[in-house]
């Protein structure tokens, strides 16, 4: 049985070009970028080059990029790093539909006395600019709102939200793990203070990510150690991973518009066909402001775990609610925050397409889905 992977929002395979770019840095160019000798220089140059690539992808300056161990660390670094600038607890704004790597640092800050406003999304998972404007208080120090939601694909109007902070002394962070490389992002027109990104959502390796930190934004470090990453992130750099991230970003940008369109058409066709097979199907998320390759749908009358297993047993990998530690699933906090009726929430499945998804795979998936949906 040939497997079909339709869970690209969870993670992606490493692109062969990325692997090729990384390989020398796992073997012969193994140097420590802090070393003065030739081995060290080789690593340092690779580090600088990757930093330039990420900066270029964002329209940023290289010194505004700090490499991390991934999206989670980047978002923790942004939120906790800003908070630790303040001697007294302040106020921060986030939303109910953020990834746990944003929600949980916020909860941690609540324990330290911070006031946190969790803005509710609308029924499409969208956080409105208005809701953010209303939540701002004189003591607000930080706003963290995701660029696009990982579960339903809804894209937020980050530029407008970030603009609210321009005349105030408020920092704005966005988790762009789902959008970096997929949507055009230019920090010149997107006035965010910080932006998190990750390698493995973009055909790069796991264990590497970055935080864009606008010049002038001060962050306290999470780790204490060497002087790496301009003293923002101690620890010997993961050169191979960072090179992989740089290469992945470069590849994504080279073909960004055409690939987004190809995936949009593929996703749209799939959704049309699902509705033909099962007219009761409902799409979750925003009908317009959405990632091109993420489709979260509810199939009322079915239970998402059983649907997921039924597809998996036919070799097709999709996702339902967010995975929890035991491998079991519960209704996702995103669908709950969107206040979907229970029948709709428990029957939700997320299909996320990617670089290697073909029309033939989508066709096979439709057949497999039909087999399950027609049974009862």
Catalog residues that contact another protein under the rule CB under 8 A. Answer: 302-303, 305-306, 309-310, 312-313, 324-330, 371-372, 375-376
71 and 79 Cβ atoms separated by less than 8 Å: no
d(CA 14, CA 19): 7
3-state DSSP call for residue 143?
Answer: strand
d(CA 28, CA 36): 17
d(CA 72, CA 28): 30
Q: Which is nearer to another protein, 167 or 326 (CB)?
A: 326
d(CA 313, CA 316): 7
Closest CB 334 distance from another protein, rounded Å: 17
Q: Which is nearer to another protein, 215 or 375 (CB)?
A: 375
Closest by CA position to 207, among listed 73, 13, 81:
73
Closest by CA position to 110, among listed 124, 92, 127, 98:
92
d(CA 45, CA 31): 11
Q: Which is nearer to another protein, 339 or 342 (CB)?
A: 342
Task: Look at phi and psi of residue 344 and say left if phi exceeds 0, alpha if psi is from -120 to 50, else beta.
Answer: alpha
| Secondary structure letter of residue 141 according to DSSP | E
Q: Which is nearer to another protein, 115 or 305 (CB)?
A: 305
Alpha carbon 255 to its chain's center? 19
Closest CB 125 distance from another protein, rounded Å: 23
68 and 233 Cβ atoms separated by less than 8 Å: yes
Q: Which is nearer to another protein, 23 or 305 (CB)?
A: 305
Closest CB 281 distance from another protein, rounded Å: 17
Residue 139, CB-side half-sphere exposure with 13 Å CA sphere:
10
Q: Which is nearer to another protein, 134 or 312 (CB)?
A: 312
Active site residues: 324
Closest CB 1 distance from another protein, rounded Å: 11
- In residues, how long is the chain? 376
d(CA 132, CA 144): 10
Closest CB 134 distance from another protein, rounded Å: 31
Residue-wise DSSP of 250-264? HHHHHTHHHHHHHHH
Closest CB 337 distance from another protein, rounded Å: 18
């Amino acid at each position: 049985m040939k497997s079909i992977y339709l869970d690209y929002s969870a993670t992606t395979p490493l692109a062969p070009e990325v692997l090729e770019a990384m390989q020398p840095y796992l073997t012969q160019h193994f140097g420590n970028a802090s070393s003065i000798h030739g081995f060290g220089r080789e690593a340092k140059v690779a580090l600088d080059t990757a930093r330039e690539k990420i900066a270029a992808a964002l329209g940023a300056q290289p010194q505004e990029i700090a490499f991390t161990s991934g999206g989670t660390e980047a978002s923790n670094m942004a939120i906790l790093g800003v908070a630790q600038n303040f001697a007294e607890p302040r106020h921060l704004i986030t939303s109910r539909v953020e990834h746990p790597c944003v929600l949980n640092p916020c909860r941690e800050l609540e324990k330290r006395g911070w006031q946190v406003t969790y803005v509710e999304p609308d029924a499409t998972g969208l956080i409105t600019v208005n809701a953010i404007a209303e939540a701002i208080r004189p003591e607000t120090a930080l706003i963290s709102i995701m660029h696009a939601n990982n579960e339903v694909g809804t894209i937020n109007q980050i530029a407008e939200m970030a603009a609210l902070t321009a005349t105030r002394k408020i920092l704005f962070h966005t988790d762009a793990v789902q959008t970096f490389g997929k949507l055009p992002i230019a920090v010149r027109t997107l006035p965010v203070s910080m932006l998190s990104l990750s390698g493995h959502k973009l055909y790069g390796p796991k264990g590497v990510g970055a935080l864009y930190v606008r010049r002038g934004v001060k962050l306290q470090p999470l780790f204490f150690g060497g002087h790496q990453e301009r003293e923002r992130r101690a620890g010997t750099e993961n050169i191979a991973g960072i090179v992989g991230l740089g290469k992945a970003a470069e590849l994504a940008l080279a073909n960004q518009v055409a690939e987004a369109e190809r995936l949009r058409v593929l996703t749209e066709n799939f959704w049309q066909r699902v509705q033909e097979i099962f007219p009761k199907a409902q799409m979750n998320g925003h009908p317009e402001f959405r990632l091109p390759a993420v489709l979260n749908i509810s199939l009322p009358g079915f239970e998402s775990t059983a649907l997921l297993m039924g597809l998996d047993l036919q070799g097709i990998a999709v996702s339902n609610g967010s995975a929890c530690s035991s491998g079991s699933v519960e209704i996702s906090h995103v669908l709950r925050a969107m206040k979907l009726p229970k029948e709709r929430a428990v029957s939700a499945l997320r299909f996320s397409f990617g670089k290697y998804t073909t029309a033939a795979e989508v066709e096979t998936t439709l057949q497999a889905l039909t087999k399950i949906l027609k049974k009862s």
